[in-house]
Amino acid sequence: MDIWNDYLTEHKQRFLDELFDLLRIPSVSADPQFKEDVYKAAQYVYTKLLEAGAEKVETCKTAGYPIIYAEKIIDPSLPTVLVYGHYDVQPPDPYELWDSPPFQPIIKNEKIYARGACDDKGQMYMHIKAFEVLNKTNSLPCNVKFMFEGEEEVGSENLGIFVAENKDKLKADVVLISDTSMIANDIPSITTGLRGLSYVQVEVTGPNRDLHSGVYGGAVANPINVLTKMIAALQDDQGRITIPGFYDKVHILTPDEQAELNGTPFDLDAYKNELEINDIQGEEGFNTLERSGVRPSLDVNGIWGGYTGEGAKTVLPSKAYAKISMRLVPNQDSEEITRLFKQYFESLAPPSVKVTVTPHHGGEPAVTPTNSIAYQAASMAFETTFGKKPVPTRDGGSIPIVALFEKELQLKTVLMGFGLNSDAIHSPNEHYGLFNYYKGIETIPHFYKNYHQLKKGNNVVSSTTQEVSQ
Ligand code: BES
Ligand code: MN
Ligand code: MN
């Protein structure tokens, strides 16, 4: 569509400047130190939705950070797309590993470097700009509702409540999210599955105070030694998780699902090279795509205790801690898995220590259909702008709200992500390609147009050269 491309070309620099302004706001939801900034980011999103032409823009208060809601209903008889994204970001730590400050976005090698550049400010902002393109060129083909939250990186607890309490307001035909990744810039893909999550913190307590490791060492249990042994016992030599009942509900792929997953282009050498590892590791009997997409996993995310400062202090610590995540797949249930973990972990503790397990947040796994009109609309949109049909893929990350959309609103989601696994989300030097940012803004309008056409029952010509029939 020339009018869209013309508008995008004309406003290209401003579209980037505005994203930069958003990236400068350190909206770290996990750390109360950034509270004011999270509110500032919400306000920024509010203003930009209004400027882009959204109506009924609202700041919806929650028990935590606000949800920014907006809509443009052009004709109630047309289909409605509910766009979801998040304006909060992960903590930038460790600061010292960033080559440039995380909240001072810069462009290097055609990429935007900043915390949130990809996850999810860059991808969320594409939707506001794609809407602007459609709206300002008078070519919005569907009704649209926006719901942007500020607590995704801390578990979306209040969003779950908001969705359950606002079913009418959020009535739509489909949910559209850009918060996932594609295989490569020349191998577009659409995510069709996300893993769920159980996240716990464990605390192991030995003696009532830190002890001299010479006076007591060897005679009193060291909680760090004990904790590491307990953690090691959570997986066997075959890479299987040992928690009783853990795999009971795991969906085993049908031959068709297996063939589809393993039809995904994957280059193991490139994967290893990018991570600078000599070998991969995981559950026996499964390949990397299966291990990260359709099999559950268990990882220690952080572990601490004792003396970690300069030099050597001889101490037998009183306490040891770890944060442990479990990625879940259909049909595992996050609360049940957390319960099974707690039971088993407590049973692993020797009588010489006390153990507590505190659940953090969780989320259910989700799969999205590939035979829906919405998937087809997304697929054809990619085909138009990338010149290639996208491949369906499973992502290992979690977006807990996707399962809730289905449960509470009976809505299916299309995961139209434009990030890359190499974008270093949650890591130092997170970045997002300029190509990806602009390609997203270019592709999203085609989704709306195709979705409108397909819902109407018109035959849309799927070709890389031919325009979708109006
Ligand atoms: N956007 C990510 C999830 C993601 C990343 C999905 C890459 C697919 C590919 C999201 O912001 C995220 O980080 N989610 C958290 C879960 C949340 C409950 C803290 C995650 O997956 O760790
Ligand atoms: Mn995200
Ligand atoms: Mn994230």
**Residues 180, 194: contact at Cβ < 8 Å?**
yes
DSSP string, 175-240: EEE--SEESBTTB-EEEEEE-EEEEEEEEEE-SSS-EETTTSBTTB--HHHHHHHHHHTTB-TTS-
The pLDDT tens digits for 415-425 are 999 999 999 99
Nearest CA, atom 7, ligand 1: 180
**Ligand nearest to the Cα of 90, by number:** 3
Name the residue type at position 360.
H
- State yes or no: pLDDT of 128 exceeds 80: yes
The pLDDT tens digits for 403-441 are 999 999 999 999 999 999 999 999 999 999 999 999 999
pTM of the model: 0.94
The pLDDT tens digits for 130-148 are 999 999 999 999 999 999 9
The verdict on the CB of residue 292 being under 6 Å from ligand 1 is no
What distance in angstroms lies between residue 311's CA and the mean position of ligand 1's atoms?
37
Top mutation candidate among 89, 151, 153 for ligand 1, by most atoms within 8 Å of CB: 153
Q: What is the pLDDT of residue 1?
A: 78
Banded pLDDT at 464 (limits 50, 70, 90): very low
What distance in angstroms lies between residue 215's CA and the mean position of ligand 1's atoms?
46
Cα-trace Rg, the chain? 24
- State yes or no: pLDDT of 361 exceeds 90: no
Domain spans of the chain, in order of start: 2-194+366-468, 196-250+296-363
The verdict on the CB of residue 152 being under 6 Å from ligand 1 is yes
pLDDT > 70: what percent of the chain?
97
Q: Does domain 196-250+296-363 have CATH number 3.30.930.10?
A: no
The verdict on the CB of residue 399 being under 6 Å from ligand 1 is yes
Q: What is the pLDDT of residue 458?
A: 63
CATH architecture under which domain 2-194+366-468 falls:
3-Layer(aba) Sandwich (3.40)
The verdict on the CB of residue 80 being under 6 Å from ligand 1 is no
**Ligand nearest to the Cα of 419, by number:** 1
**Residues 119, 179: contact at Cβ < 8 Å?**
yes
CA distance 72 to 372: 24
The verdict on the CB of residue 364 being under 6 Å from ligand 1 is no
Mean pLDDT to the nearest integer, 57-75? 98
Nearest Cα neighbor of 109 from 350, 366, 338, 432 is 432
Nearest CA, atom 1, ligand 1: 179
The pLDDT tens digits for 149-191 are 999 999 899 999 999 999 999 999 999 999 999 999 999 999 9
- State yes or no: pLDDT of 340 exceeds 90: yes
- State yes or no: pLDDT of 350 exceeds 50: yes
Q: What is the pLDDT of residue 469?
A: 35
Structure tokens at 172: 């739509």
Q: What is the pLDDT of residue 404?
A: 95
The pLDDT tens digits for 270-289 are 999 999 999 999 999 999 99
Q: How far is CA 233 from CA 209, 227, 388, in A?
A: 26, 10, 46
Catalytic positions are 88, 152
The verdict on the CB of residue 151 being under 6 Å from ligand 1 is no
Nearest CA, atom 15, ligand 1: 398
CA distance 196 to 328: 4
Nearest Cα neighbor of 424 from 146, 147, 99, 192 is 99
Q: What is the pLDDT of residue 459?
A: 55
DSSP 265: -
Q: What is the pLDDT of residue 426?
A: 97
Q: What is the pLDDT of residue 136?
A: 98
Residues whose CB is less than 8 angstroms from the CB of residue 343 and which lie 6 or more positions away in sequence, other chains included: none
- Mean pLDDT, rounded, of the chain: 96
Q: What is the pLDDT of residue 460?
A: 54
